[in-house]
A = this chain, B = another copy of it.
Amino acid sequence: MTYTVAVSGASGYAGGEILRLLASHPDIEIRTVTAHSNAGQPLIQHQPHLRSLAHLTLQDTTPEILAGHDIVFLALPHGQSGQYTDALGDVPLVIDAGADHRLTSQDSWDAFYGGHFHEPWAYGVPELIVGGEKQRESLRSAKRIAAPGCNASTVSLSLVPGVAAGVIDPRDIVSVLAVGPSGAGKSLKPHLLGSELLGTANPYAVGGTHRHIPEIQQALRTAGADDARISFTPVLVPMARGILATSTAPIVPGTSDAQIREAWESAYGDETFVQLLPEGQFPRTADVLGANTALMGLAIDRAANRVTVVTAVDNLVKGTAGAAIQSMNLALGLPEGRALTVNGVAP
Alpha-carbon gap, A39 to B241, bound state (A): 33
Q: Are B182 and A347 in contact (CB under 8 A)?
A: yes
A87 beta carbon closer than 8 Å to chain B: no
How many A residues touch the partner, as a band? Answer: 35 or more
Residues of B within 8 A of A195 (CB): 13, 180-182, 186, 192, 240, 347
Whether A178 touches B201, Cβ cut-off 8 Å, given contacts A238-B239, A288-B49, A308-B233, is yes
Whether A229 touches B304, Cβ cut-off 8 Å, given contacts A48-B287, A182-B195, is yes
Q: Which residue of B lies closest to A279 (CB)?
A: B207
Q: Are B347 and A241 in contact (CB under 8 A)?
A: yes
Q: Are A240 and B201 in contact (CB under 8 A)?
A: no
Alpha-carbon gap, A344 to B22, bound state (A): 13
- A residues 307-347 near B (Cβ < 8 Å) are 308, 310, 312, 341-347
Q: Are B188 and A345 in contact (CB under 8 A)?
A: no
- Number of copies of this chain that the complex holds: 4
Alpha-carbon gap, A302 to B207, bound state (A): 9
A126 beta carbon closer than 8 Å to chain B: no
Q: Are B198 and A306 in contact (CB under 8 A)?
A: no
Residues of B within 8 A of A16 (CB): 346
Where the two chains meet, the residues of A that have a C-beta atom closer than 8 Å to any C-beta of B are 13, 16, 20, 23-24, 47-53, 172-174, 176, 178, 180-182, 186, 188-190, 192-204, 206-208, 213, 229-233, 235-242, 244, 246, 248, 250, 275, 281-291, 293, 295, 297, 299-306, 308, 310, 312, 341-347
